[in-house]
Structure 1
Amino acid sequence: MAGGGNFINRVVSYVVNELVVDRLANSPSFQRFAVRTSKRIEDISSKAAQKKKELAEQIEDITKHIETKNH
């Protein structure tokens, strides 16, 4: 009997997931939200990459400065 209940739960879960995914995929509001979120993540990733590059350059400059002082 437990196996039958598990099967029914999976079917219900599948149907609910399909309905939710279909509704979200066809929702202009959700699509706008997804596009805005994606753009924000891209912007943050780009800024993080730029800051990483700047920090690496600063560390390199500091290292060169320390090396020239010690020689």
Structure 2
Amino acid sequence: MAGGNFMHRVLSYVINEVVVNGLANSPAFQRFAVRTSKTLEDISVKASKKRQELAEQIKEASRNFDSFKN
């Protein structure tokens, strides 16, 4: 059984090296990675702005509710 485990690790290492090197040297994959990174960054910025806007709206609603209550 130990021989199978060793072979599995060697095969896994070789496949990993081939895939990683293939993707690292692929201009198409590099363009995909850059576009994906930029898109995720844009989404993160938009989410942060929306979160801030929502917090301000909740704060304003709370003030309005407190003034209505009094």
TM (norm. structure 1) is: 0.96
Correspondence for 1:39: 38
Q: Distance in 2 between matches of 1:54 and 1:20?
A: 43
- Unpaired runs of at least 5, structure 1: none
Percent identity, aligned pairs only, is 59
Alignment of structure 1 residues 1-71 onto 2, 5 Å: 2-71=1-70
TM (norm. structure 2) is: 0.97
- Unpaired runs of at least 5, structure 2: none
Aligned residues: 70
Moved over 2 A (4+): none
Deviation, 1:67, is 0.6
Give the root-mean-square deviation of aligned CA atoms.
0.5
